[in-house]
Amino acid sequence: MCGTCGCSTVITLEEKVLAKNDHLAGHNRELFAARGVRAINLMSSPGSGKTTLLERTLRAVTDRPVAVIEGDQETALDADRIRATGCPVVQVNTGAGCHLDAAMVRDAVERLDPAPGTLLFIENVGNLVCPALFDLGEDARVVVVSVTEGTDKPLKYPAMFAAADLVVVNKLDLLPYVDFDLELCRKYLGSRAVVALSATRGDQVELWLEWLTG
Amino acid sequence: MCGTCGCSTVITLEEKVLAKNDHLAGHNRELFAARGVRAINLMSSPGSGKTTLLERTLRAVTDRPVAVIEGDQETALDADRIRATGCPVVQVNTGAGCHLDAAMVRDAVERLDPAPGTLLFIENVGNLVCPALFDLGEDARVVVVSVTEGTDKPLKYPAMFAAADLVVVNKLDLLPYVDFDLELCRKYLGSRAVVALSATRGDQVELWLEWLTG
């Protein structure tokens, strides 16, 4: 959150914004529970491969309904990719906004009207900072980081990784070509659950699917 | 900026925060001009290779003083890497903050006390959204995007790219292994200046150095 002023007005207003968001997230959580919807909030840097992982996931999950909410500043490119898999999807464009919030998710869920038992993926705006602050009412938070981004990301963006129920280390297919230490990254992540995979090539995607549906 | 409330109080306060930042950025700009300092604001997603590009740049620029301000949520890892090149550096940790602002840069410049004629690099927090809103008083904005992030980033994060004086497409060494269309990316960037290079391997870094010192 913005520290330009540092004045108490800004801090109080930020607290109010977050409190209002938390309240709405609570309503989303009740709605998901009532319908038996499992909601997964997917967060990462831009270009870490969230949409590619979703494309593969949606084709693999056939024993329950799936749906997707796509968050981006602009374009419906990701929604188009998701729709091509046959999955219901709603695109949310945040404009200048740097994250999804609970109100955006509530409105998108109204439009999606997910069937009971749906596995709902919420692909957040690509941003390793701001989305960590905003509860969407999700059941689980998944942070995707790719091996091309460097081993140090859990140390440099601690708030995001502290909030993760699962960390997916993606783009294992590029591991031979980059300076990334998977064991050291796991060490930085401490006791957090980690799945390393390649969404593009499919390596170890079964571990992710097991986590999702287990 | 946050759209959770959508109320006019939030919008007015955001305008005030940005107006105050713009005012301070103006002072930074005057200070830079008075000292003959050329300030470059480097922005990108996390892990796009800004620090690696700086390491190579600082070793190559020998005809004038250089200095670096490093922005990260946490750690002094990047400052340590810069210091190892022999370059003066100040690390700014933003904590929960998602961008550098003009006041942070002013304070860091006071500590750096750059010599006349210094080429000053300001490495912003890795974030393709929020830093675009905050003028730091820089002479030029450089956006780094790596080929591993996908061709569509200029379309999905338009505010960041619209503000760029130069776009560096990095990690050309990984081009054979990823689905990235350099010509299409250039097309998306329109008339914007583009340099494609590999900071790791050194390909075409001379084009970047020409732009910097030209």
Q: Are A105 and A139 contacting, i.e. CB atoms less than 8 angstroms apart?
A: no
DSSP B15-63: HHHHHHHHHHHHHHHHHHHHHT-EEEEEEESTTSSHHHHHHHHHHH--S
pLDDT in tens, B180-193: 999 999 999 999 99
pLDDT (average), residues A193-212: 98
Largest pairwise CA distance in chain B: 52
The predicted structure's pLDDT at residue A3: 45
Rounded distance, CA B159 to CA B45, Å? 13
State the complex-level ipTM: 0.92
- In total, chain A counts a number of residues equal to 214
Q: Are A170 and A144 contacting, i.e. CB atoms less than 8 angstroms apart?
A: yes
Tokens of B83: 């210091």
Residue (of B154, B152, B42) closest to B99 by Cα position: B42
- Write down the pTM of the prediction: 0.94
pLDDT in tens, A45-63: 999 999 999 999 999 999 9
User: In terms of C-beta density within 10 A (0-12 exposed, 13-18 middle, 19 or more buried), how is residue A133 classed?
Assistant: buried
The predicted structure's pLDDT at residue A4: 44
Q: Are B163 and B65 contacting, i.e. CB atoms less than 8 angstroms apart?
A: no
Quick one: closest CA in A to B172, which residue? Answer: A177
Contact A129 B134 (CB under 8 A): no
Q: How confident is the model at residue A90 (pLDDT cuts 50, 70, 90)?
A: very high
Name every chain B residue with its beta carbon within 8 A of the beta carbon of A134. 4
pLDDT in tens, B27-78: 999 999 999 999 999 999 999 999 999 999 999 999 999 999 999 999 999 9
Parallel, antiparallel, or unpaired for β A140-146 and A119-123?
unpaired
Domains (ranges, CATH) in chain A?
A: 8-213 (3.40.50.300)
Q: Is the predicted pLDDT of residue A213 greater than 90, yes or no?
A: no
Q: Return residues 36-65 of A near B (CB < 8 Å).
A: 45-47
Residue (of B71, B46, B48) closest to B171 by Cα position: B48
Q: How confident is the model at residue A121 (pLDDT cuts 50, 70, 90)?
A: very high
Parallel, antiparallel, or unpaired for β A89-93 and B119-123?
unpaired
Quick one: closest CA in A to B51, which residue? Answer: A150
Name every chain A residue with its beta carbon within 8 A of the beta carbon of B171. 148
Q: Is A19 on the interface with B (CB under 8 A)?
A: no
